[in-house]
Amino acid sequence: MTTAYIDSPAWGLGLATVTASGQVLDVWFPAGNLGLGAAPFASAGAAADPAVDAANAGPGLDPATAAAAAAAAATLDPGATAAAVAAAVAAHGAGAGADTGALVDFSDIADSPDSPGSRLGLSGRVMRVEIQSLGAAPTSTADVYLRLHLLSHRIVRPHQANLDGQFGLLANVAWTSAGPCLPEQVDELRTLERRAGRRLNVFGVDKFPRMVDYVTPPGVRIADADRVRLGAHLAPGTTVMHEGFVNFNAGTLGTSMVEGRISAGVVVGDGTDVGGGSSIMGTLSGGGKETISLGERCLLGANAGIGISLGDDCVVEAGCYVTAGSKLTLPDGRVVKARELSGLSNLLFIRNSVNGRLEVRERQGRGIELNAALHAN
């Protein structure tokens, strides 16, 4: 699978969590508050996006100062927020490219001075984000969050938005039942919660939050919310069972059963079953460059694994792991590396239980059929 970024502008109006020093921890873009094309609120008098870029790239600025300057440049005061919302609502009906849903006005959302977040120096800020081209790398934390939301809202597909350099732009955050905070603030937040008669749950300490805390796409089932990261793309009809996992910039393009691991960058086609405990290799670790995809109506058997792309109607036997360098024996006796078969359709990969060899055979007809009742989400 090749990378094909789309050269399209994108926009979003979101609510950010910002520290006292100006560091952005997260930004939430509800359905209706983001889309492709020119920003419908560009005429509302908000700060121009080049100011954000300049803040990030300004000479002599350390990363923390640059991030704070970028957040300040993109923050809207209540008056500007109301104007931006009015402009967006006016343009929404004219095809502004917004995702389905009514635009959310954040101007009436205020932080209580007695809230745990406020007492930690955290505040909610409305942020206007404009991206000139999704083909260019992100330039700020809010920029990254908009791209991740575009993926999870299914406005763009995996690999249509450039995410180069995202890890350096995202803070390491403690994701808690009382909201995001810096990891070093967890003990203080836990104490504040106990004093208020509540117990704090820490869901993770990571750069990426759970998808369902920000986007809950219609038509899908997710048995364990911890197993799907923000930035995952789940098509209608997708079922992610308890042992399934879907990383960012990855996911499904149609009705699929996910009981195994879909690593970052991996795309799974319509009608495909990723079996229990199975794994599809990604590109984040180990220096891998090839983006792996599975075609339509494929079956990756339980505890199997794949490090090459599959075309349509392929099956990998349960427990069989095929990496790009695996030696495969063809029906005529020749031995080839698995990468030579990457992307081909109608193949069966097995490990011969008599001699232990990895073998590949041709398959006839269409591949598997999923249980329609299980995917009527």
Q: Name all contacts of 74-80 with Cβ < 8 Å and 24+ positions apart.
A: 74/47, 74/49, 74/127, 74/128, 74/129, 74/140, 74/142, 75/16, 75/18, 75/125, 75/126, 75/127, 76/46, 76/125, 76/126, 76/127, 76/128, 78/107, 80/44, 80/45, 80/46, 80/128
Closest CA to 145 of 28, 15, 35, 250: 28
The active-site residue, picked from 184, 188, 259, 369, is 259
Q: What is the phi-psi region of residue 156: left when phi exceeds 0, alpha when psi lies from -120 to 50, beta otherwise?
A: beta
Closest CA to 34 of 52, 9, 54: 9
Any binding-site annotation on 333? no
Provide the total of helices (H) and of strands (E) in the chain, helices listed first: 7, 26
Any binding-site annotation on 325? yes
Residues 6 or more apart whose CB falls under 8 angstroms from that of 340 comprise none
Active site residue 259: yes
Buried b / exposed e over 123-141, threshold 16 CB at 10 Å, is bbbbbbbbbeebeeebbbb
CB–CB of 34/103 below 8 Å? Answer: no
Our measurement of the distance from residue 83's CA atom to the centroid of its chain's CA atoms, rounded to an integer in Å, reads 30
Any binding-site annotation on 273? no
Query: What's the residue count for the chain?
Result: 377
What would the two tokens of residue 300 be?
Answer: 């990756």
Any binding-site annotation on 243? yes
Any binding-site annotation on 261? yes
DSSP 234-245: --TT-EE-TT-E
Identify the bridge partners of residue 131 per DSSP, sorted by sequence position.
10
Any binding-site annotation on 318? yes
Residue 158 and residue 292: Cα distance in Å, rounded? 12
Q: Which residues are annotated as a binding site?
A: 226, 243, 261, 276, 279, 302, 317-318, 325, 337
Catalytic sites, residue numbers = 259
Q: Which residues are annotated as a binding site for succinyl-CoA?
A: 261, 276, 279, 302, 317-318, 325, 337
Q: Which residues are annotated as a binding site for Mg(2+)?
A: 226, 243
